[in-house]
Amino acid sequence: MFLYDKYKETLDNATHAIHARTFYAAYPEHPKAYAEDAMAKGQEWFKNQLNNNFDELLQQEPDSWHGVESSPYLTDMLGIKYPAFSVEKLLSRSKAAGKDWLHSTPETRAAVLVDSLEKIKTRFFDIAFATMHTTGQSFMMSFQASGPHANDRAMEVIALGYKALKEFPTHAEWEKPMGKMSVKVKKTWKAIGKGTGLVIGCSTFPVWNTVPGLYATLITGNAVIVKPHPGAILPIAIVVAELQKVLIENNFNPDLVQLATDTNDAPIGLKLAEHKDIKIIDYTGNSHFGTELERLEGKAVFTEKAGVNSVIIDSVNDIDAVMQNLAFAISLYSGQMCTAPQNFFIPESGIKAGNETLSYEAVVQKLVENVINIANNPKMGPGTLGAIQNIHTCQRLEDTKAHLHGKIILESKPVANEEFPKARTASAMIAEVDATDSKTYSSELFGPIVLIIKTKDTPHSVALAKELATTKGAISCGAYSTDETVKKYILSEMEEAFTPVSLNYTGPIWMNQNAAFSDFHVTGGNPAGNATFTDAAYLVRRFVWVGHKEVA
């Protein structure tokens, strides 16, 4: 409650500020903005967790303790155990904890939730090391994505939720003159949360992809159960623990937010999702399970699944600036971002680059060189590529290579990492695929795999990218053109496939990045997911307006 006054204006003006990124300066991105010893303390904290029980949660009487996380940097088990609870116990506790919260005001909820972001801020370094050693992200990406950027997205959801809850007045007196008499009715309106929510997290962005659904379900008056990926529990466990502490400080039942852990061998995600008392589901992960969740009846389901992201190259001013940018976008976290580019469409006749024409082969060569340069640069490589979260991603590289209809023009190799010599790493593999072989390039090849498709011309490139986005989904699209008509054409076509375009990206900003208060992440309009971070639909589907009226 304490911080509410500070944020009241922010909340009230939320949508005016949103998309201009003018507020929320409380969380500077750079670690240097924090205490000198914050990083060392975070590292120390993380080391102390290893081979211990995670004991910060306020959830009582676990049925057992378990944990299967391993570090992609250490290629060793973390040995951290988490409390485990039966589905029925989780649901009955949610129900008990939910009633007070349901009948609390939007003001109270916003105050408590903003407070929790302040608490989480004090744990950014703990969360960063936890993220690094579960996801394989570099330290810097771990810090940014799971720390300030995740808090940004949570704050965005709180603000938009608060706005949605305040859209209609709480009461009005209605009077209808009827000749000599009049009818008077007192009307009241209330936003009632739909019921307990479930948030199913993923292994690569365990905080950034979880907090939007978590905070959206909470601000709209519902209890929530967080079910992380068994391989990346620790980062979000810290967030849940801090939320529980804030709840109890404000006299709410901490079971309002519960952590539900499972293992790969005994998953509980579907069992939870199918339970009649789960009314809201947020999910990030593979398309197969996501589509299964979307089919569940009587639940509001929000998904981020997989897409196939395209890059359309028509013409450029400075080919080196473009290829440095694209090579970095490919290399960043070894293609394990849902926004990473996979398919590069390049015309067979080459492209205009400044005053000259570059052949198709020369364009490809430039891309390959830049990808090699990043991976082989000992100062840049490890920090950009990070480590491979899942051993299956390494297997996918092998499988793709073995079954490829096409020509491999750059092999994937391990990336030397001085700090973590055992790290599981892989540089990008680049292959050329024929435009007619849509089967090869029309499914997501998660990880460091890039396909180059030679097209007849730019309209052909656009048609293929649009078709892929429409039928297979797309979360991002890169495009390069110096021609205004072509640019307009690309935007118009791709928006009909509900795909945002990053146009002419060069310099230190990449198509992989989607920021709160500014970028809608996953549009919700194509098969890559049915929801976006964060528009009104992301909030208003979690509650129901009920209006009572009484004759006065």
Residues that bind a second copy (CB under 8 A): 15, 18-21, 102-103, 164, 167-169, 172, 174, 176, 178, 181, 183, 185, 187, 189-190, 192, 194, 294-295, 297, 487, 491-492, 494-496, 498-509, 518-520, 523-525, 532, 535-537, 540-541, 544-551
Taking the complex as a whole, how short is the minimal distance between the CB of residue 547 and a second copy, in angstroms? 5
- Please tell me the number of Cα atoms within 13 Å of 229 on its side-chain side: 23
Taking the complex as a whole, how short is the minimal distance between the CB of residue 191 and a second copy, in angstroms? 9
CB closer to a second copy out of 449 and 474:
474
Q: Where are the alpha helices (DSSP H) in 81-231?
A: 87-102, 106-121, 124-135, 139-146, 148-165, 211-219
CB closer to a second copy out of 365 and 504:
504
Taking the complex as a whole, how short is the minimal distance between the CB of residue 159 and a second copy, in angstroms? 12
CB closer to a second copy out of 33 and 544:
544
| Rounded alpha-carbon distances, angstroms, from residue 171 to 11, 185, 484, 549 | 21, 11, 52, 9
Using left for φ > 0, alpha for ψ between -120 and 50, and beta otherwise, residue 522 falls in left
Taking the complex as a whole, how short is the minimal distance between the CB of residue 4 and a second copy, in angstroms? 24
CB closer to a second copy out of 129 and 328:
328
CB closer to a second copy out of 1 and 26:
26
Which residues, including other chains, have CB under 8 Å from residue 23's CB and lie 6 or more apart? 10, 13, 17, 517
436-459 burial, b for 16+ CB within 10 Å, e for fewer?
eebebbeebbbbbbbbbbbbeebe
d(CA 138, CA 381): 10
Which has the closest alpha carbon to 353: 341, 343, 365, 342? 365
Compute how many other C-beta atoms are within 10 angstroms of the C-beta atom of residue 360.
18
- Name residue 182's beta-bridge partners: 177
CB closer to a second copy out of 2 and 545:
545
Which residues, including other chains, have CB under 8 Å from residue 502's CB and lie 6 or more apart? 476, 477, 478, 479, 510, 511
CB closer to a second copy out of 425 and 512:
512
Taking the complex as a whole, how short is the minimal distance between the CB of residue 382 and a second copy, in angstroms? 22
d(CA 367, CA 385): 16
Taking the complex as a whole, how short is the minimal distance between the CB of residue 385 and a second copy, in angstroms? 22
Taking the complex as a whole, how short is the minimal distance between the CB of residue 30 and a second copy, in angstroms? 11
CB closer to a second copy out of 2 and 168:
168
Taking the complex as a whole, how short is the minimal distance between the CB of residue 182 and a second copy, in angstroms? 10
d(CA 48, CA 457): 57
Whether residue 471 has a cis bond before it, omega within 30° of 0: no
CB closer to a second copy out of 70 and 502:
502
CB closer to a second copy out of 187 and 275:
187
Taking the complex as a whole, how short is the minimal distance between the CB of residue 414 and a second copy, in angstroms? 31
For the chain, what is the radius of gyration of the CA atoms? 25
At CB < 8 A and 24+ separation, what contacts does 61-70 make? 63/89, 66/261, 66/263, 67/233, 67/261, 68/230, 68/231, 68/263, 68/264, 69/133, 69/134, 69/230, 69/231, 69/232, 69/233, 69/234, 70/231
Q: Are 430 and 448 in contact (CB under 8 A)?
A: no
CB closer to a second copy out of 88 and 167:
167
d(CA 163, CA 177): 33
Taking the complex as a whole, how short is the minimal distance between the CB of residue 431 and a second copy, in angstroms? 28
d(CA 348, CA 457): 7
CB closer to a second copy out of 6 and 19:
19
Q: Are 281 and 126 in contact (CB under 8 A)?
A: no
**Burial class, 373, CB count within 10 angstroms (exposed 0-12 / middle 13-18 / buried 19+):** middle
3-class DSSP state for residue 175? Answer: strand
Taking the complex as a whole, how short is the minimal distance between the CB of residue 277 and a second copy, in angstroms? 12
Taking the complex as a whole, how short is the minimal distance between the CB of residue 165 and a second copy, in angstroms? 11
Which has the closest alpha carbon to 240: 116, 142, 124, 148? 116
